[in-house]
Structure 1
Amino acid sequence: MRKKSRFLGMASLCIMLVLATASLTAFASDLHVIGDRNGDHAVSDDELAREYQDHKNGTINSDEILQIELMHDRYPIEVTDSAGNIVTIHKPLKRIVVLNGLVTEIMQILNATDVIIGMTMDLEKEPLISPALKSLPTTGKVVEPDLEAILRLNPDAVIHYASTMWHTDEIQRKLQKVDPGLIVIRLDMFHPESHLVEVENLAKILDKEAEARDYIDFYKEVMGEIQRATGDLSEEDKPRVYFEERSDFQTGSSESYFSQDTAIAGGRNVFAESATLYPVVDQESVMMENPDVIIRTYSNSSSGGYANDDTSMMEELRESIINRHGSKNITAVKNNRVYILNANLIGGARHIIGISYLAKILHPDLLADFDPEEVHQRYLDFVGFDYDLKEHRAFVVPKI
């Protein structure tokens, strides 16, 4: 009886090991490259010649030889992502989970969303993300992705932020521990100084260089026009800007996205020297800094922006800032330079929109012929968002 029990115990253990192995195998990426005969995940000249001979002999068909030619001519692809990791891709990526929503937006521009199989639930309320993508399986939140859900989708690549504020190093380590062959690509898309390099890398990875070209030209054109108008300004000629991010008195240091965008637009952040990234200040501090321009972002999804054309709540918010105790003595208030901007204009992959509006606000004379609304519309057209800004203008109060 004891031997039988021992045998059953060993059998149960074997079954558990088999099931565990099967589970891990389900998460193993398919590393096979068609035409690769020696297991190095590439097709050499010699291997291609042998495949041509097999095609001539009728062993492989014309579709297969076309795939093998692609593997030989284009792959492997090697890029250095924004986390400094060298990423090698041996064949076309067909199943991608995107954890960085900004990349999803750029993939719409590149017409490459057909390979997305899952993304975070954070994008459900993003207006520029297409409804078709919002119906895909979700994989948790950016701050807490569901790793099991990601792996169940059996992706051949996962794209996440390069920035480590979302514990991205740890997430990458855990994913690749379960599936060592899984490609993890780290891109941010929100830094203006690295944006185009990231777009180019993404386009290269997805074989969408041609689709990227028009967007890259557009981005360079807009940034170039702003730079030509403001690039030679002395520090004294740059307006001093106080920025509030979505809540009263929350502002940003020099490392904040707003401060960086303001600098590109030809302005100076009055709280750039703050020790914390997003400090909360007070009215007395604002009065002491005496900014030339005050800008507040507004993010109520039920009023203004892409939601509707009602700007009444934005106007009320502006009046409340103007009517704060002591505001009448601030230069920005005296000169009627207090602005409310819809939060969807600022930062992210679409930062070029916000920078364009900021530049026009800060330098209306230097950029007299520059139209940020046109930049905004062109970006929406690139993304594929059906929206006419000539009919809907509820993004900036007062109008500029």
Structure 2
Amino acid sequence: MKNKTAAIIFSLTVTVLASALSVQAEDNKRETITLTDNVGREVELECPVDTAVSALRYNNELIRACGAIDHIISVDLNTAQDREYWGMFDPEEVIGKSQKELDYEKIVELDPEVVILPANGAYEEAIENLEPFGIPVFIISGYDTADFENQVKNIGTMFGTEEQAQKFYDYFDDKLEYINKQLEGVEKRKLYIEGTSDLTTIFPGDPMYNMVEYASADNIFSVDYENVNKGEVDPEEVIARNPDVIIKLVTPAQAMSGTGLYTPPTKDEFKTAYNSIVTRAGWDEITAVKNDDIYFMTQFSHGGAGKLVGTCYIAKMLYPELLPELDPAEVFRSWMEDFQGFKNIEGHFYSGKDLHD
């Protein structure tokens, strides 16, 4: 009996020691790495990071595309609201409503190794509130098209998923290089892009601005916009600037303000948006309306891959004959299925011609 007890004790001791050695070995694989975030801060992190919390759907999509979503233990409500797309996250256990409204008690309770926030969030406040608890804040802005390469590589390094991150980057960089090559020296077509709210648009410095620039579009409000209210554009100003193409963003009525959902709006919602544009007083004189060069993207769809999905669609909408090898529908399919692990879903993109009764 004593021999049997001793054997059991010995076996348990070996198991505990083996487990401890395994943990120690894993810790030894980690190293302190300094990464430069989206606002130029140099942040030291123990990499690969095992646990993190992250706000902003665009950030979480980039992280998932880089193969690291399993390391995210909580997100914001704007992300978690989409139960089909983000079913692994509990809306009752979020780190706040959005990147601008954070629940610091919850973050401290979760004790992540890093908090990931975008530049348009309350990151300075978060740094101040979380520093006493030794929780670093790292800025990733998933909407920042111009910083796509740096952010994807940061995610790969941070979570130890460099190979997948590089594959992801290469896919979209290839599309961007093709667009640049094909459209080099081309006379740019004039574009008016309207947000989900009527008569809202974008100016230089806005999150969507580079998405449009990278598509070689001539945004009609890229100049002489100082006296224009982007939150309520004078419709006469759009008439005067006479865009060749109009692109309107649409989001489902049930989506939280400023967000999109995996399930697209109904076709009737797109038709309502189309009819709103073509029946505006005087807009029948705009070139885009005359030629029915009007297109629609959802708030969900255009933001994929640092808004490069949107760039591909906009470029094709503007210059279809010059981009014969660019298939934005295939880009969106690859984004959804290859990099997000979800079934491709139709109904996020329409042309005005698709919406005629």
Tell me which interval the TM-score lies in, with the shorter structure as reference length: 0.7 to 0.9
Confirm or deny that 1:123 pairs with 2:75.
Answer: no
Query: Any idea what SS the aligned residue of 1:387 has?
Result: coil
Give yes or no for contact 1:342–1:396 (8 Å, CA) kept in 2. Answer: no
Tell me how far 1:186 sits from its aligned partner. Answer: 1.4
Report the CA distance shift for 1:80/1:257 in structure 2 as closer, same or farther (over 3 A): closer
Q: Secondary structure at the match of 1:378?
A: helix
Gaps of 5+ in 1: 1-57
Residue identity matched to 1:222:
K
**Relative to structure 1, is the Cα distance of residues 167 and 305 closer, same or farther in structure 2, using a 3 angstrom cutoff?**
closer
Q: What SS does structure 2 have at the residue aligned with 1:365?
A: helix
- Kept after mapping to 2: 8 A contact 1:243/1:296: yes
CA contact (8 A) 2:188 2:217 kept: yes
Secondary structure of the residue aligned to 1:297 is: strand
SS of 1:285's equivalent? Answer: helix
Residues 96-143 of structure 1 show CA distances to partners (whole Å, capped at 9, x for unaligned) of 121233222122223322222222111133477430124572121222
What is aligned with 1:388? 344
CA 1:305 to 1:114, structure 2 compared with 1: closer, same or farther past 3 Å? closer
Q: 1:290 is aligned with what amino acid?
A: N
Partner of 1:150: 107
**Count of aligned pairs between the two proteins:** 333
Residue of structure 1 in register with 2:220 after alignment: 270
Distance 2:115 2:265 in 1: 37
**Which residue of structure 1 aligns with residue 242 of structure 2?**
290
How is 1:176-325 mapped onto 2 (pairs within 5 angstroms)?
176-177=131-132, 179=133, 181-233=134-186, 237-273=187-223, 274-275=225-226, 278-301=230-253, 306-307=262-263, 310-325=266-281
Q: Deviations over 1:214-245 (max 9, x none)?
A: 11111111111111111332xxx100111111
For residues 23-81 of structure 1, the C-alpha deviation after alignment (integer angstroms, 9 at most, x for no partner) is: xxxxxxxxxxxxxxxxxxxxxxxxxxxxxxxxxxx9x9566556555555551222122
Report if the CA contact (8 A) 1:254-1:269 is conserved: no
Q: 1:73, 1:351 → 2: CA distance?
A: 34
Stretches of structure 2 lacking an aligned partner (at least 5 in a row): 1-13
CA distance in 1, matches of 2:233, 2:91: 41
Question: Shift in Å at residue 92 of structure 1?
Answer: 4.1
Question: Which amino acid letter does the alignment assign opposite residue 113 of structure 1?
Answer: I
Q: Distance in 1 between matches of 2:229 and 2:285?
A: 28
Asked whether the equivalents of residues 58 and 303 of structure 2 are also in contact (C-alpha less than 8 Å), the reply is: no
**Residues of 1 paired with 2:71 and 2:20: CA distance?**
21
Indicate conservation of the 8 Å contact 1:117/1:137, yes or no. no
Q: Give the TM-score normalised by the residue count of structure 2.
A: 0.84
User: Larger relative contact order (C-alpha < 8 A, sep ≥ 6)?
Assistant: 2
Give secondary structure in 2 for the equivalent of 1:341: strand
Cα distance change on mapping 1:144 and 1:257 into 2, 3 Å: closer
Partner of 2:94: 138
CA shift, 1:146, in A, is 0.9
Distance 2:111 2:273 in 1: 47
Deviates more, 1:88-97 or 1:191-200: 88-97
Q: What code does the residue aligned with 1:243 have?
A: I
TM-score, normalised via structure 1 length:
0.75
Higher radius of gyration, 1 or 2: 1
Shift of 1:154: 2.0
Q: 1:394 to 1:96 in 2, by over 3 A?
A: closer
